[in-house]
Structure 1
Amino acid sequence: MIYIVYLISGIIFIIAGLVLRYFPPKSINGVIGYRTSMAIKNKETWDEAQRYGGNSMIVFGIINFIIAAFTYRIHALSNEVFQIMFLIVGSIVVIIIVEVHMKKMFNKDGSRK
């Protein structure tokens, strides 16, 4: 039954990514959105972080969903520890991917390269 957790967490990441991608917060705020020091530099960095962060979350959610589809057959993946580690590591990877993208697109002061 642990694959249900995979399915639900995958769906949550996909929905959150879609919301960030297509309905991003209009202004920089401290509550909703992808918020890192680079993302909150200015409106341009904010908008790019929401767009790219949303896309990254969608991809991670799809990967999580695919793993769920095969979990019932692969018993090594059918435990809570693996799911928690996958979510933690996956979330960190999403942040790293977005931050690397932001550093490629913007200077440290938030101006576009």
Structure 2
Amino acid sequence: MGFWIYMLAMDLLIPLIMTGFGWYFSGRAPRKINPVFGYRTAMSMKNQDTWEFAHRHSGRIWKICGLVLLPVTVVPMLFVIGGDEGTVGTVGGIVCGVQLAVLIGSIFPTERALRKNFDKEGNRRKDGQG
């Protein structure tokens, strides 16, 4: 049972962090563009406008994805409660893999929105079309 609790706690980290940073970033971006903290891609770091837009957009995505991933994490783990370590570890690993796919996949809609709203130099498009 101890290993199951450990795996559940570890699997809950990604959804909880996504939800927390989603709430934070959807309301405010880190003040200055920096190489350490925040949504950092070449396009998001073009200027302050792209930086703030990317954080608001990715924050909304992370907030939703994190909340959706919470039950997606807990339900499979409930099916293996009391199971042997191999089963619990396998299910926990699969859940973590799904979470990582969602986390990495969240980059694509944000980059698409950046390209739609900004040109390659980071200037805001007037029509919002890429």
TM-score scaled by length of structure 1: 0.85
Shift of 1:74: 4.9
Give the corresponding residue for 1:102: 114
Letter of the 1:63 counterpart: V
Specify which of 50, 63, 78 is matched with residue 68 of structure 2. 63
Corresponding position: 1:15 with 2:27: no
CA offset digits 1:5-60 (Å, max 9, x no partner): 34332111100111212242111111111010000011110110111111111111
The answer to whether the 8 Å contact 1:3/1:71 transfers is: no
Give the corresponding residue for 1:46: 51
Q: Which moved more, 1:88-97 or 1:30-39?
A: 88-97
Letter of the 2:104 counterpart: I
Give the corresponding residue for 2:31: 26
SS in 2 for 1:79: helix
The answer to whether the 8 Å contact 2:19/2:66 transfers is: yes
Change (3 A) 1:102 1:74: farther
Count matched residues: 113
The answer to whether the 8 Å contact 2:77/2:92 transfers is: no
Give the corresponding residue for 1:93: 105
Shift of 1:69: 3.8
Q: Provide the identity percentage.
A: 25
Two-structure CA RMSD over aligned residues (Å):
2.1
TM-score scaled by length of structure 2: 0.75
The answer to whether the 8 Å contact 2:15/2:70 transfers is: yes
Greater C-alpha Rg: 2
